[in-house]
Each structure stands twice: as structure tokens, then as C-alpha cells.
Structure 1
């Protein structure tokens, strides 16, 4: 028995900031990726997965869990995140699985197709696609939200989802699973995350429609919607630096979640255990109400 309100009491986010996309290795209070706790049971034995944003945070925790459940894993990430990706590769290989590293930028349309091709070639196929890579930058006033940031947020969070799924479909056999990452922001948008919240609502709608289209082909599409989760994204402009010490306190549990608490949701949706779960959004948000 574990009291969820008492978990991670030793993690006390401080008002720190990182340049660029942010690194797990750059966090003073390290996020829990499940590297010391996740125990697999063969639920994804023989599966072949591609995870965007797989170097850190939720994507990294999912990659570790997938590998320990028996899947080979390809990771997409920005080149600046190479050190984090190298660490996750080591953990995947420690689990006895194959790891493929695919550095690049999801705003590059050619890259979105190329990572699918490289995954299929390296792993011998593809049957789990996790579209998790994302961009989040807080802006206090709409007047200060540039057209460039607005377009880049949509290109990273929405366009890349469409392009990667489109490239993957010819390779996905019946029984495959597509999982996208939405957010509590799709339901309770913050005033300083207008562009980001809009992309997350779009992801929900896109996946619900796509799920109906692909269900007759035996391909399941679902979404995970995290609440406030402690990842490098938050320290790299995702939240105002001065607000980080209170990050997550608005949840009924009174704390931010950790990536390790998200990974089981992705495992469930990727595995055959969720064979009758299609077009759903699984909320992992510490109790924050959603419609």
C-alpha cells in the first residue's frame, strides 16, 4: 500500500531554468523515469516501437518500460538531447532489447517520414507508435506570442503527429497500437499556454477520428493526457521559472506527477490487454477533473 499524496516528497522543484529543449541530466531534482522501479512481465514481448521525444521525461520512462516488457525501441529526439538519449539507450540495452537512436527535428517533414523508415529497417518492422515529442513555451500575453512560435508549436505537436502516423500506416499490421500524448491543458487551458493547449485539444480530436477510421483494420488509436508532470520541458520555458516551486500543487494530490507514473498507461494501451480500448483518452493527472 502506497499513499499517493506522500510519493516523491523528496522531490522539491526549485526555480531553475534550462536553455534549449532541456535535459533530464540538467534537472537539480531528477525526474523518476522508473529506471530503479519498473519491473516488466513480458507484456510487449517481440514488439517493435517508435517513440518521439523518447530521450527524456514521459517518453524516456515509456521507453524503459517498453524495453523491460520485451519490446525493441527506436527513439526520436533533438540532436541537443544526445546525452539523455545515450543514457536511455543504455537502459534499453540493459534490458536485453535493441535500441535505435534517431536524432532530428520533428518540424522537418522529411524527418517525420525518415524515422519510420529507419525504425522499420533497424527493427524489422513497426507495431507501436508513440507520438510524444512536443513543444511548450509559456507566453503571458497574446500580443507577445509570435507567429513563428505559434506555427512551430503546431508543427511539432500536431503536424508531426499527422506526418509520422501517415508514414507509419503502410507498415503497421493488425494488432498495432498508435498512442499520442495530449494534456490536461486540452481541458483546463492555462492563460499563458494558449498555443500549446490548442495543439493538445487538436490531438484529442484527431486521434478520436483516426481511431474510428483505423479500427476496422485492427489498428488501435488512443491518447494519454498527463497532468502537471515534472520533466525538463517545465524548466526550459514550459512554465515561468518563478512558479516552479509550486508546480503541481493545484492537483487534488497536491503534487506534480513523475514520468514513471505515466509509463504504465502507455504499456497498457500498447499491449493486447487493451484490445477493446479504441479512441479513448486515458487521464493521468493526479485527480484534476476533465469532461
Structure 2
């Protein structure tokens, strides 16, 4: 039997009800999903209109595909890797070395969905490392069909010209 991430706790006010407030947490950068307080994020359940949750119903839309998911260790990146696996895709998740524990948790969830998950700790702020990610993905998976460029954190600038490579 396939084991998925724990179903979200019931009893909380539905996100669809008036007055629902999103819980706010402040984590140091980079944030680690394992450090998050309740309610913990889930990757394989989706909200329903009645305020509950249901397991995502996959349809095999990505059968045999190979994806690179940057920032794939946690949050949106983890959800993408897990849902892609449920749809039939294998992934290479890329993350910072300090996020190894979160990455291993993501790998377990992807593999529970029946797909391969390759983990690569790499700082993508260096363009040479970006090339290494692509080369490693091709070597490990035999090719790349999907790129999810999710690794990021918000850094306010007054002008886009201030961004470096």
C-alpha cells in the first residue's frame, strides 16, 4: 500500500469560510519545512469546498517524464515533486546543503508514490552549478522533460537592473 503524507488535521476553520486567517510563521532563511509549526503543510492532499481534504487523484499525465525541481526539498517544491510522482514523473530535486533533512523527507514521499527521486545539494546562485545540475540530471535520469525553477527567496530591490546573475 502506498503511504502518503499525513492527512491534514480536521477541526480547523475552513479556508473557504469567512474569517479564515492564514497562520503566520517567521523562519530564518532558508526556511526548513521540518521546523514549521502546526498546521504542517501537506503535499498529496488538496482542499475540498466543504473545508476538508482529499487525496489528489492522479491521472498518469506525466507518465515516464523526468523533472528537475529546484527548491524541491520543501514547500511548493516538495508538493510539485510529490504530485508529479503521483502523475508518473521521476524527479531530481535541487536544494541547499543545509536543507538535507527536508530533501530526504521529500525523497521518501516521492518514492512512496512509486517514482524515483534524485537529490542534489547545490547552491544555484553560481551559474556553473546550474550547468552541473543539468549535466547530473541527464546522467541520472537519461534526459529532462520538465524544469520547475522554484528555488528562491524574496530580496527587495528598487530596480530590476540591480539584480546580478
TM-score (norm 2): 0.74
- Give me the whole-angstrom Cα distance separating, in 2, the residues matched to 1:129 and 1:112: 12
SS at match of 2:94: strand
- Give me the whole-angstrom Cα distance separating, in 1, the residues matched to 2:113 and 2:31: 26
Q: Give the equivalent residue in structure 2 for 1:93.
A: 111
Q: Give the equivalent residue in structure 2 for 1:24.
A: 33
Q: Which has the higher helix share?
A: 1
Contact map agreement 2:43 2:83 (CA 8 A) in 1: no
Q: Structure 1 runs of 4+ off > 3 angstroms?
A: none
Q: How many residues align?
A: 140
- Give me the whole-angstrom Cα distance separating, in 2, the residues matched to 1:12 and 1:133: 23
1:34 Cα deviation after fit: 2.6
Gaps of at least 5 residues in structure 2 are: 1-13, 46-53
1:37 Cα deviation after fit: 2.4
- Give me the whole-angstrom Cα distance separating, in 2, the residues matched to 1:22 and 1:76: 15
SS at match of 1:129: strand
Task: Tell me the C-alpha RMSD between the 2 structures.
Answer: 2.5
Summarize deviations over 1:255-285 as a string: whole Å, max 9, x none: xxxxxxxxxxxxxxxxxxxxxxxxxxxxxxx
Gaps of at least 5 residues in structure 1 are: 143-149, 160-291
Q: Indicate how the Cα distance of structure 1 residues 34 and 96 shifts in structure 2: closer, same or farther if over 3 A, else same.
A: closer
Q: Which of 128, 134, 137 is equivalent to 1:119?
A: 137
* 1:39 matches 2:49: no
